[in-house]
Amino acid sequence: MHPNAEIDFRTTQCVNLFIMLVELQPKDVGAGAEGGDTVASKVAEFMGRVADEAQLDQNKPNVEDILSKLSEEDRRPYQNVFIQECDVICVLIKEIVRSLAEIELANKGELTMTEQMETLMGEIFINRVPSTWLKLSFQTTRSLASWLDNIKQRLE
């Protein structure tokens, strides 16, 4: 193998190995045992971060307001792409807020916990961007925390 190809191959192997190790770690360790977190506590911490720190729902771009400020002469390819990105991020924020609200209601006992909710909670626990959100978002290899920071920066 060419040395560069071998470096890429070994790097990919290491990344896959560490992903498997993270997925295999115990998820329901009690808070008192070795300081581990439970899935519910990690999800609640992430929900708090979305609501308080990132404030996704409050910082959502108002596409109609942006469109009203642009005249037909001002709408060029860059402005069109910007408006499309605003639409995409609005749909993404709506899905994030909706799915986290459903999990909160399920934890309170007001909704039945579904397999999709459990999968979402598992992905949040291992700090991976949930696949349902990734379908609506830009492609990334970031961790969930870094991805949320990136969305916050995009909104600013």
For residues 132 and 156, which has the higher predicted lDDT (pLDDT)?
132
What's the pLDDT band for 15 if we cut at 50, 70, 90?
Answer: confident
Q: Where are the alpha helices (DSSP H) in 75-143?
A: 77-108, 115-125, 131-136
Amino acid (one-letter) located at 4: N
pLDDT in tens, 126-142: 888 999 999 998 888 88
Asked whether residue 18 carries a pLDDT value surpassing 90, the answer given is no
pLDDT in tens, 32-88: 445 557 888 888 898 988 888 878 878 888 888 888 888 777 788 888 888 899 999
Q: Work out the mean pLDDT of the chain and round it to a whole number.
A: 85
28 forms beta bridges with: 38
| Per-residue pLDDT, 31 | 47
What is the third-level CATH fold of 35-155? Substrate Binding Domain Of Dnak; Chain:A; Domain 2 (1.20.1270)
Name the CA dihedral angle for 34, 54, 130, 96, rounded to a multiple of 10 degrees. Answer: 130
C-alpha of 38 from chain center: 19
Domain boundary assignment for the chain: 35-155
